[in-house]
Copies of this chain bind each other. A is one copy, B any other.
Amino acid sequence: MSAAQETERVWAALDGFHIEVPSWGFANTGTRFGKFVQGGAATTIEEKFADAAEVNKLTGASPTVALHVLWDLPGGKADVPVIQALEKKHGVKSGSINPNLFQDLEYKFGSIANPSSEIRANALAHLLDSVEIGRALGSKDVSLWIADGSNYPGTQSIRKRIVWMEEVLGATHAALGEGQRMLIEYKPFEPAFYHTDIADWGMALELARRAGPKAKVLVDTGHHYQGTNIEQIVAWLLHVDQLGGFHFNDRKYADDDLTLGSIDPYQLFRIFHEILNSTKEDQAGIAFMIDQSHNLKGKMEAMVQSVVTAQEIYAKTALVDRARLAELQQACRLVEAEECFRTAFWQDVRPLVREWRKSRGLPVDPLKALTESGYVEKITGERESKNAKSVSSYA
């Protein structure tokens, strides 16, 4: 590939690459053992919008922010005008709407899969509210992460709970408006330990199909068993036209919610390849979102770092010579195919990405620009007193 072709490919890829940032990625989070509070963490939806706008200003790639209904719109639909004002003020839009069905005490034994029809009705009501909020905000996706499950064998009927979920998800689907979708996430364990009602992509796919055509599957890269080939699941979901989007993060063992590409960057490259190797139509329907919990790294730093890493690895993937690769794969010329594939991974795309940033009027080095902007110091000064001390789930 000539240098000009490389530039063209990378620039085209970056122009088309957007990745949503989560509002909760700017707030304090932690593990069950404790929450290490940061002075600059966002504590209000206004602060989260400000932070998201700053990330977008630095990277040019994150024009939307995912909202969490319970934490960001505690007043429900009534808070929509507040959000709309923030969108206008900060120049970033609302992205996916994330209901919360795991925190309230009544969901102890499940939400949409709870044996109690009353509790399931409450869960449905929250989902319908979320759909309405999404419609009012012009947001495309309602993203459902259902934490339901059980901790001990024999304590719940796995099969009955499937039926209950189908009912609630069907009713939620029926409320979706024109242009709205619901994305169903899966996760093998945590916070439920013995069985999680939507444990893998097969279960999410069944539920999505049963719910209706506007339901798709959401892949969180951290929600798989050890050794799972995630890019293969991506290929299958593309094949059956059910890939709704991603929650990107990385992990070493469980659902660690580490910054994207930090543990296994080659895996991210392979996932991106399945996407770029698919048709434009396939690609159009895929939402890219970050879902991370930076409990040690600085919130703003970590978010900028993640977006930059995503851009760089996406740029690498764009450099795969897919026509040549297809020939080598067809001929089963294994070593040549592998080398053709990973030569793009080994290429240092950072100079090309810098050029693109410059041409688009963006800072050449977003992390450095963040430091130099003094933004973190500023918000720390403003927010420090609002951020309390470490809290453990134990004490």
Which residues of A come within 8 Å of B, CB atoms? 24, 27, 29-37, 70-71, 102-105, 108-109, 115-116, 147, 150-160, 162-163, 188-191, 193-196, 199-203, 205-206, 225-229, 231-233, 235-236, 238-240, 251-254, 256, 258-259, 262-267, 270, 273-274, 277-278, 293, 295-298, 301-302, 305, 312, 325-326, 329-332, 334-335, 337-342, 346-348, 350, 367, 389-395
Q: Which of B103, B240, B391 contacts A206 (CB 8 A)?
A: B240
Minimum CB–CB distance from A16 to chain B (whole Å) comes to 21
* A-B contact sample (11 more), CB < 8 A, given A157-B329, A203-B236: A29-B32, A30-B191, A36-B105, A103-B394, A153-B342, A159-B238, A159-B278, A194-B252, A254-B254, A262-B338, A312-B346
Q: How far is it, in angstroms, between the C-alpha of A200 and the C-alpha of B205 when the chains are bound?
A: 13
B262 adjacent to A265 (CB under 8 Å): no
Q: Which of B150, B159, B199 contacts A277 (CB 8 A)?
A: B159
Q: How far is it, in angstroms, between the C-alpha of A223 and the C-alpha of B215 when the chains are bound?
A: 29
Q: How far is it, in angstroms, between the C-alpha of A392 and the C-alpha of B35 when the chains are bound?
A: 10
B236 adjacent to A253 (CB under 8 Å): no
Enumerate chain B residues within 8 angstroms of A262, measured Cβ to Cβ.
152-153, 338
Q: How far is it, in angstroms, between the C-alpha of A37 and the C-alpha of B277 when the chains are bound?
A: 33
Q: How far is it, in angstroms, between the C-alpha of A253 and the C-alpha of B196 when the chains are bound?
A: 12
Q: How far is it, in angstroms, between the C-alpha of A235 and the C-alpha of B194 when the chains are bound?
A: 14
Whose C-beta in chain B lies nearest to the C-beta of A255?
B254
B109 adjacent to A189 (CB under 8 Å): no
Enumerate chain B residues within 8 angstroms of A240, measured Cβ to Cβ.
206
Q: How far is it, in angstroms, between the C-alpha of A35 and the C-alpha of B240 when the chains are bound?
A: 35
A153 adjacent to B193 (CB under 8 Å): no
Known: A206-B236, A228-B225, A274-B159. A37 touches B105 (CB 8 A): yes
Q: How far is it, in angstroms, between the C-alpha of A346 and the C-alpha of B194 when the chains are bound?
A: 20
Q: How far is it, in angstroms, between the C-alpha of A331 and the C-alpha of B228 when the chains are bound?
A: 36
Q: How far is it, in angstroms, between the C-alpha of A202 and the C-alpha of B232 when the chains are bound?
A: 12
Q: Which of B71, B231, B391 contacts A391 (CB 8 A)?
A: B391
How many chain copies does the complex carry? 4
Q: How far is it, in angstroms, between the C-alpha of A159 and the C-alpha of B339 when the chains are bound?
A: 20
A231 adjacent to B335 (CB under 8 Å): no
A326 adjacent to B157 (CB under 8 Å): yes
Whose C-beta in chain B lies nearest to the C-beta of A210?
B240
Enumerate chain B residues within 8 angstroms of A190, measured Cβ to Cβ.
31, 33, 253-254
Enumerate chain B residues within 8 angstroms of A393, measured Cβ to Cβ.
29-32, 35, 391, 393
Whose C-beta in chain B lies nearest to the C-beta of A395?
B71
Minimum CB–CB distance from A45 to chain B (whole Å) comes to 12
Minimum CB–CB distance from A112 to chain B (whole Å) comes to 15
Q: Which of B225, B293, B335 contacts A305 (CB 8 A)?
A: B335
A153 adjacent to B334 (CB under 8 Å): no
Enumerate chain B residues within 8 angstroms of A253, measured Cβ to Cβ.
188-190, 193, 226-227, 254
B337 adjacent to A154 (CB under 8 Å): yes
CB pairs A–B below 8 angstroms (22 shown): A30-B393, A32-B32, A32-B191, A33-B103, A33-B147, A33-B190, A103-B390, A151-B256, A153-B263, A157-B326, A158-B274, A159-B277, A189-B253, A190-B253, A194-B263, A206-B240, A225-B226, A264-B264, A296-B334, A298-B334, A305-B338, A391-B393
